[in-house]
Amino acid sequence: MARQKGIIKLKGTIGDITFYKTQDGHLAREKGGIDASRIASDPAFQRTRENGSEFGRAGKAGKILRTALRALLLNSADGRMVSRLTQRMMQVIQADLISVRGLRNVIDGEAELLAGFEFNIRGKLGTSLFAPFVGTIDRASGEITVDLDSFIPANMIAAPIGTTHFKIISAGAEIDFEAETFVEAHSETAILPWDAVATVAINHVNAVTPASTKPLFLALGVEFYQEVNGQMYALKNGAYNPLALVQVSGL
């Protein structure tokens, strides 16, 4: 892979060279690789097929999680979140100590490894929200909750330049990775001023299926706003809104 230089940037294929654009700029690479039919059947590529199967499973698992949290992710994700989440899902799958290689999966892996995942590396929850919070996943009742005591926003939220207001968002999700289905509920505060006046205590209750046997997730985030002439606008289209998985129960 090489980086294109010069005034004119190319896209497409010339001979054995493919020119394309990525987030890293305009690149070029030489066409090559092993024939797909050989990879699919040659015993020498057994490990390649196993790795490919598990990578595909990680991609599907990441997609269903993203779909479940779509209401929050619309304003709280960076451009490489999908690939980062797939990599984390691979760690979950590789922690499966029951299934044979190539058949390892999320259910028999360690879904708890997803705890702490930041959906937006441009604005991480861990460096944005300093107000103490308590996240709880109650399987028996199906209630996935988060509580924050009263806090002073200007002291406990590190907001991007231009912020005048914010709101706290959260979601609870119950995901069946095998059936690729989910149950989701989300909550949000009103849009609150980012100032030196203490908030009221915040309590979010996101209800899923009581006594579920599926992995459960609690996501928590902040959305930033700027008030202009009495109207609220998402600050920089949400580019710095943090959102993270703060509790995971894999069962």
Read off the pLDDT of residues 88-105 as tens digits, 9 standing for 90 and up: 999 999 999 999 988 889
Q: What is the DSSP string of 134-156?
A: EEEEETTTTEEEEEE----HHHH
Looking at the structure, tell me whether residues 49 and 21 fall in a common domain.
no
Long-range contact pairs involving 91-95 (C-beta distance under 8 Å, separation at least 24) = 92/58, 92/61, 93/54, 93/57, 93/58, 93/61, 94/54
Read off the pLDDT of residues 36-89 as tens digits, 9 standing for 90 and up: 665 455 555 556 666 677 888 999 999 999 999 999 999 999 999 999 999 999
Q: What is the pLDDT of residue 26?
A: 73
Looking at the structure, tell me whether residues 172 and 60 fall in a common domain.
yes
Q: What is the pLDDT of residue 18?
A: 73
Looking at the structure, tell me whether residues 11 and 98 fall in a common domain.
no
Read off the pLDDT of residues 214-245 as tens digits, 9 standing for 90 and up: 999 999 999 999 999 999 999 998 899 999 99
Burial code of 153-166, b = ≥16 C-beta within 10 A, e = fewer? beeebbbeeebbbb
Higher pLDDT, residue 160 or 18: 160
Looking at the structure, tell me whether residues 51 and 12 fall in a common domain.
no
Q: What is the pLDDT of residue 29?
A: 67
Looking at the structure, tell me whether residues 1 and 60 fall in a common domain.
no
Closest CA to 14 of 2, 30, 26: 30
Share of the chain above pLDDT 70, in %: 85
Looking at the structure, tell me whether residues 23 and 116 fall in a common domain.
no
Domain count, the chain: 2
Question: Which spans in the chain are helix H?
Answer: 36-41, 46-68, 70-73, 81-94, 153-156
Looking at the structure, tell me whether residues 212 and 88 fall in a common domain.
yes
Looking at the structure, tell me whether residues 179 and 236 fall in a common domain.
yes
Looking at the structure, tell me whether residues 81 and 106 fall in a common domain.
yes
Looking at the structure, tell me whether residues 44 and 116 fall in a common domain.
yes
User: Can you give the pTM of this predicted structure?
Assistant: 0.83
Looking at the structure, tell me whether residues 146 and 27 fall in a common domain.
no
- Domain span at residue 23? 1-32
Whether pLDDT at 12 is above 90 = no
Q: What is the pLDDT of residue 1?
A: 62
Looking at the structure, tell me whether residues 47 and 23 fall in a common domain.
no
